[in-house]
Structure 1
Amino acid sequence: MKYLVSVSIAIILIACGEQKQGDENQAVPVIASNSSNHSDTFNTAFSASLTAYYALKDAFIEENISKVDTAAERFAKTLSVIPLNEISADSIKSEAGVLTESLQAELIGLKGETLLEEKRKAFQLLTEQMTTLIKKVQFDREVIYYQYCPMAMDNNGAAWLSASSEIKNPYLPTSMLECGEVKDTLNVVRK
C-alpha cells in the first residue's frame, strides 16, 4: 500500500512539472517600447481588461464565489470600453468585436452559474477567447503567460493567462496550486 501511495505521489509531481529548488519565477514588467501597434488609449483600456481577467483568475484561486462574480462584472465592463474602432484593419476590428461580445456573453453565463466548478468551466472558455483576442489584436504592451495544467477539469486539461511565469492554478487551488506549466508567452513586441 505504501508503495502505491509513493508511486501516485511521484506521478502527480511529474505530471505537474514540479519546480526545482532555487528556480525563480519572476514577474515580467510591462514592456516599455516607444512603438506600439495601438494608441495609448487602446493599450490602457486593453491592459485594464487583462488586469480584470487576472483578478477573476485570482478569485478562482481564493475559491470565493462572491469575488468571482464581482471580478466577472468588472471584466465585462472593461471589455466594453476597449476602443476597437481604433484598429485600422476592418477584418481584425470585426473579429475583435465578435470576440469581445462573446467574452461578455460568457461572463453573463459565468455569473449565472451557482456552483464554483460550473463557473470554472466558463472561465476555461473565457481564457481561450481572451487568448484569441490578444493574438488577434496583437497586443504589444506586456508579456502574457499562457499556462496549462493537464490535470485540471477532470484530467482533460485547462489553461489560464497570467502576468507572471509563476504557476498558481485557478482550477485546482486547494489540491494542486502549483500544478501546471507555461506553454507559451503571448509577446508581440515592436522594435
Structure 2
Amino acid sequence: MDRVQVDNELKIAKKKSAKPMLWISLVSMVMFFAGLTSAYVVSMKREDWVTFDLPQAFYVSTFLIIASSITLFFSQRFLKKDKHQNSIILLIVTFILGLLFVWYQYVGFEQLRSVGLYFTGKDSNVSTSFIIGITFMHVLHLIAGVIVLIVVIYNHFKKKYSSTDMLGFELGAIFWHFVDILWIYLFFFFYFIR
C-alpha cells in the first residue's frame, strides 16, 4: 500500500468512528445530568428545602437556546444546498444567540441572589445550591458548545465544508442541539419539580 492509500483509509476510519464516539460522550452526559436531577429529587425531602420561582432570565435564555438551534438547523440546510453565504450568516447568528444564552444564565443567577438565594455560604440552602450547580454545569457544556461553534465558523470561513463534506459541521450541530435539548429538559424539570 502506498502512503496516499493509507492516509485515505485512515480518513475513512476516522469519519466512521466520529459520530459513534460523539454519541457515546452524549450518553455519558445524559447519565451525569440524570444523576444530578435524581439527587435533586431525593434532596427535596429535606426539612430545609426551599421552593421558589425560576428567575425570569431563565425563560429568556430558554427562548434564546431554542432560537439558536433553529438558526443552526437552517444554516445546515443552506450548507447542504451549497449556499455558503446564507449558511455562515445563520451560523454566526447561532453563535451570538449562544453567547446571549450564557449572559442570561448569569442574569438568572443574579436574580436568584437578589432575592436572597445563594449557592454557597451561610445564607445558602440546598435547593438553590442544586439549581445553580446543575445550571452551572449545563453552562459549562454550553461554553464547550460555543467553542465548537467557533471551530465550525472558522472552518466554514476556510471553506472546509460543502454539501459533500459536512462531517465537522454535523458533529458540531449534533453537540449544539444536544445542549439545547438538555437545557429544555432542565428548564421543565426545575419548572415542574420544586
TM-score for the superposition, normalised by structure 2 = 0.45
User: Which one has a larger percent strand, Structure 1 or Structure 2?
Assistant: 1
Looking at CA atoms only, which structure, 1 or 2, has the larger radius of gyration? 2
Normalised by the size of structure 1, how large is the TM-score?
A: 0.46
